[in-house]
Amino acid sequence: MQIPSKEIIIGRMTRNGFVESCDYFPCHPGLETCNLCFCIFYPCEDNNLGEYIISRKETRVWSCIKCEWAHRKETVERLKTFLMDEQNCRLASREMYLAFLVS
């Protein structure tokens, strides 16, 4: 599965609910919504939400397996408002994540 662009992910934010046809569904415990199937904050590098692991290809990758925060309805609703500001949409993933936390 190819990772969609940030623009496609932002477009999905208008949809509500689950994508039960996804091969990875359910991907996280406590899943409330699939609007952020691929997180626009990846990699957020927040150690409370994930960690670096060694992949099957023996490369270091960010794992979001512990994160359920991006799959909560309240997070998605706040993010929709945050993304209405075009300037926020232009930020790189890590900078967007940090700006969202203080918004």
Determine contact, residues 36/71, Cβ cutoff 8 Å: yes
In a domain, 60, yes or no: yes
Global pTM value? 0.69
pLDDT given at position 61: 92
| In a domain? residue 103 | no
pLDDT along the chain (103 residues), means of 10: 66 63 69 74 89 93 85 84 87 90 91
Query: What was the pLDDT predicted at 70?
Result: 80
Evaluate whether 9 touches 89 at the Cβ level (below 8 Å): no
Residues 6+ apart with CB under 8 A from 27: 37, 71
Q: Distances in Å between the alpha carbon of 92 and those of 44, 47, 77, 96? A: 10, 19, 20, 6
Give me the pLDDT at residue 35, please. 72
**Is residue 102 situated within a structural domain?**
no
**Parent domain of 63:** 6-97
Q: How many domains does the chain have?
A: 1
CA distance 39 to 74: 15
